[in-house]
Amino acid sequence: MPSFSCTVEQPITIGLRLDRYIAEHIKILSRSQIKARNLEARLNGKKVKVSRILKGGEFLELFWNSSESPFLIPEDLPLEVIYEDERVIVVNKTQGMVVHPGAGNSRGTLANALLYRRLRKIESGITGETVAETGQRPGIVHRLDKDTSGVIIAAWDGDALDFLSAQFKARKVRKSYAALVRGCPKDKMGIIDKRIVRSSHDRKTFTVSDLKGRPSLTYYKLVRSYGDYSLLLLRPKTGRTHQLRVHLKYLGLPILGDPIYGKSDPRFPNSTLMLHAKRLSLYIPTGRYIARQPNDCPYILPPSTRPEGTYTTFRTQLPQRFKGITQGLSSDK
């Protein structure tokens, strides 16, 4: 049975539950994993519920069941880095790379690669952290599907992670995607405002709904028409799983190469998912890593002195898989 022990940080956010502390601060198990793995927690040697409110300074012991190790394996994988500083890293994720490890998929992910890179930084003394402090989950703020390529940002420290996560939660981040679809929209610009709900026929897929599900909003713009195909620029206002793929299928414009929501295309039968995260605009945190108290516990800066951010836009070019198809379509005219 895997186990973990530490002293709870002090000071700590007032009213912070134990399960949130495990998921958001220690970062070795998510809140869903805490339940799935029957986690047992002890504070100062006494068994407690994961709903227990922490005060700070307690000695915490954790025990859980696991069929496989929950600890991330650092891997030296090639990454196309768009931007990197002491607080964040922005990567142009390649198509086919999974962001987070999952069942039967513990290697070769972006998380594995980022953990390796972070440990190398720590070993070189760049960050001022120790290996024991880094935790096992790199600060990936948002997700891209395995077959979606493009811009994704991660944080190198907890304060930067909170800074970025707050923007995503408040929907202050602007994300733009390029999609090559089958068909042409009736209007050059439009809004898809349809709720998304998990399919009752296949729990791994989603569909639109008028009443059920979560509100989902996508803006689209026609960039170029190629007769039976179109290049669209998409800006999701919400961030639901498979949102763009489901919304475009609803419009009758399935993304070319989509193995889940589309069909094999007779002209491009070997095409892969033609969806690319082209642009990401948000505030990135400025300043160095937060200071440490003499007892080596993270010092939580009051709101008035927290590092401010710099509004930045990160862009990528369309990948070669787009160019190969669009060049062929252009030559038809």
Structure tokens at 317: 């070019």
Q: Is the pLDDT of residue 325 over 90?
A: yes
pLDDT at 5: 80
- Mean pLDDT for the chain overall: 84
Q: How far apart are CA 310 and CA 66, in angstroms?
A: 41
Order of strands across the sheet that contains 46-48:
3-7, 59-63, 40-43, 46-48
pLDDT at 68: 45
Which residue spans within the chain are E strands per DSSP?
A: 3-7, 40-43, 46-48, 59-63, 81-84, 88-93, 139-140, 149-155, 174-182, 189-193, 195-198, 206-209, 217-225, 229-236, 275-285, 309-315
The one-character DSSP state at 255 is B
The one-character DSSP state at 17 is B
For residue 38, the SS3 value is coil
The one-character DSSP state at 104 is T
Q: Is the pLDDT of residue 266 over 70?
A: yes
Instruction: Say which of 19, 145, 157, 265 is annotated catalytic.
Output: 145
Domains and CATH numbers, the chain: 3-63 (3.10.290.10), 81-172+281-315 (3.30.2350.10), 174-277 (3.30.2350.10)
pLDDT at 1: 60
pTM surpassing 0.75?
A: no
- Annotation says 228 is catalytic: no
- The radius of gyration of the chain from alpha carbons, rounded to an integer in Å, stands at 22
Q: Is the pLDDT of residue 78 over 50?
A: yes
